[in-house]
Every structure is written in C-alpha cells, then in structure tokens.
Structure 1
Amino acid sequence: MRAFHCLVLATAGLLLAGCQSLLSPAQQPLPTSTQRWEHRSTGCTGTECPLVNIDLQLPTGLPELNARIERELLQLTTELPSDPPPVSLARYEQDFLATAKPGWTSYLQAKVLEQHDRLLVIELSSYRFTGGAHGIPGRAYLNYDRTLNKVLTLNDMLLPDQEDAFWDQVQLAHQTWLKANGHDQDAEFLDTWPFERSDNIALLFGNVMLKYDIARIAPYSSGHPDLRVPYPRLNGILQPYYFPGRR
C-alpha cells in the first residue's frame, strides 16, 4: 500500500514537472525576493513614536519593473496626484520621520498578487496616519506582460475601439455591486455616490478587478470597493491573449 502511495506521488510529481515544461519562459513562475524594515524617530521610545514600515516583494531579474514599482509606491505617499513623489523610499522615510508628530505612521507595501499565463500582477498598498479621525489608505495595481516586457495600459489590454464597450461592462458590474450591498434602490446613495471610472485595474486569473479609492463610489466606511467583470463578458473587448489559459 505504501509503495502504491509513493508511486502515485511520484507520478503526480512527474505530471506537474511535465506541465511546467510545456510553459514558455514567459509563463514559468518568476521567483521573488522580500525586503522588510521598520524605522522610528531617532531616540523616541513608547507607543506614540512615529514610524515608517516598508514591506516589498519584488520579482527577481526585472530591475526596470522594480524601479517602476518603487515610483508608483512613492506616488501613493503624495497628497495630490499632481504632486511630485519623493525621489526614493529612503528619502521619503527620512523626510516623514523628520517632520512627524507623535502617533504618525506610514506603511508601504508591494506584493506579487498573482502570476498567471504571461502576466505578473503587482498590488501596491499604503496607509498614512497624520492625525485626524482616521488614516488614508491607498491602492494601485501594475499588470506586467512578461512577453512584451512592459506595464500595460488599458489600451494595451483592449482590442481597438473597445474602450466604451469595456466601461459598459464595468457599469454592469457596478450595478451588481450596488444590488449585492443593498444600495440599488437607495436614491440618496445613488445620487451621492455615482459610478466613476478607475485606473486601478488588475487582470486576475478569475476575473478583471477594478479597485476604487476610498470615498469614490462609496463612503469611507466601505473601504476600497472593487468591481469584478467576468472574462466571458469581455469576449470581443479584451485582447484574446489576456484571457487566462490562452496563449
């Protein structure tokens, strides 16, 4: 019986190795490295010390993408989208701690959310508390095509002249989200929080996700709402090679 069990495991291992061997270099799982650190104001002790916490999971062998990840992560630290970001994480940390008041905190994270087919999906997260009733969270996503060696724009993802059709499908997903959260018959909610477009798009394995900043399509208490568009609804809209399982 034990010999049979070992044979099954060995066969499964060979099948997995065989499946992986069929993948192109751009479809093989890419290794990552992790960098983590947390620094507090010099000489400060106690629970109210200002701090900066950095947590980075970066793909190996892609320095240009990693530089882009750092730039986009630093952009999440700005007050306005038009503000220039800090020149580096080290400079951001230095400036934040030099001016921070007791209780101020800043968390920045980059992680590989998914790897599938030719895509590497990176999630960038931030949270800054600089006083007031609550902190400011942020999200951003990068979809990296390993075949093209580039971060995709929406135009890259879509077939020609299909942007309006794409947003029509997102609006249908918004209607689904409203109904699921009990807002579809709430006239005041619909008037206060109308549908908006979002640049935060992630080509996930299960669906296309659009993540919204707080207080965009729902109040702060709703966090970061996300809308999910099933891939079958994007036939004739999304580039065929971005459907999971297609090459």
Structure 2
Amino acid sequence: MPLALITGASSGLGAEFAHQLAARRADLVLVARSSRDLESLAEEIRERYGVAVEVLVADLVAEDGVKSVAARLADTAQPIDLLINNAGFGLPLRFADNDIEDEVRHLRIHIEAPMRLMHAALGSMRGRGGRIINVASVAAFIPRSTYAACKNWLVGFSEWANAEYSRDGVSITALCPGFTHTNFHERMGLAPGEEGIASWMWLDARAVVRDGLRDAARGKALSVPSWRYKLIVAATRVLPSSLVSRAGRRGRM
C-alpha cells in the first residue's frame, strides 16, 4: 500500500485528506501539534478503513518539530510515497498591527517548514518516485499581507520543483483553493459569515481535496479547484495590479 504523510492532519483539509486517502487504501502518517486530536482521528480511520495509521506529534513552528518530521520523511526503511504540506494558520491582514513574533511563526510554518520537509522527502523519493502536495491558496495571486506573500512563494517554488524533479519521478503540486468550509477561520476568531465573503465563493473541503489528489496524480504543478477560482486566477494575470490589490482587501482572512 502507498504511504502518505500529512501535516496539519488533525482538522480541516488535513483530516479530509486523511479520510480520502484511507478510503483509497493508503496507509497514513498523521502529523499535528495535538496528541489527543491526532489519536482520535487515527482511531476513527483505523476502524473505518482498516489501514495502518502512525501518529507523529510535532509543532512545525519549532525547530525540533520540523526535524522530527524531516527524519521520518528521510526514513528509507518505511518510505513515504506522498507528502502533503498542509499545516498552517492565518493572521489578520493588518501587518503593522500584528505581533511581529506571530508573523515570524507564520513565516516559519508556511515557508520554512514546507521547504525543509520537501528537501527531506526529495532525498528519499528521487529515483524511486513520489508526490508532494503543497497546500497554498488563491491568495497567492492576490496581494493580501504576509499570508498571500507566503503562499506566492510556495506556488512559485512548487512550479519550479515540479519541472526540475519530474525527471526523477517526483511530482510537486501547489493546491490553491479559495475560501473553503473548514475550521481555519474559526481558529482566527471569526464566526461563520463574519468574513464578509459571498456564499457562492465558498468551496466544499471534500471537493477541494478530491481535485487536489486528481491533479497531483496527473503531475500538474498547479491545482485550482472550481471554475470560479480558475477564472479569478486568470483575471489576476491581466488586470492592473492596483485593482487586484483593492480586491484583496475584501474579507478578513
């Protein structure tokens, strides 16, 4: 059976990835900060799908946490076939008003951690084959403070790495959903409907994960679920940057 490692696996898109992959008979390594939430999800998946589930508790903001996950990715005795870099959190858009230490932690989990985990995964995947999915965002194409800047880096690096390492049998896909129904916004202290975004803009987590897995299987460097967001991304490439920046001020994520 293939073996997938998912960061940020205890809730949201991470948990949805775990369910969909287990339904396809993949064994899992689940990574998150909360031991209780991880163990609960692991037990549920074992009982429902009958697959093997390993739990790895790690805080990817901390250096020790990243090192422990990187070591698991580098283990050739039980090699990882699919890495999903999903861990992350959001901050308010007002950079100058945010605590700078929060911004540094935000940078670490959205850029440093995926970069280091990709490096570890590539070491064991090159020549053998494998896939990496980096969960980015449509925000990568729309200026929205440091969150968008981090996701823009992740998209650009994924596109380059996909072209560079496809010759070694490894595909790297940046998954760029728009606003998606998960607990991401609740963790920022926002109640449902408080984001100021029209209902038609919201995506279903199951569809986002399904599309991301499909595009990764096809070796695509970029996956943008939903025609609505495909049109938005296309528009950002031709509209004046000042107009795109103004559009990015909508919502509170």
- Fold match (TM-score > 0.5): no
Q: Which has the higher helix share?
A: 2
Q: Which has the higher strand share?
A: 1
> Greater CA radius of gyration, 1 or 2?
1
Relative to the length of structure 2, the TM-score reads 0.28
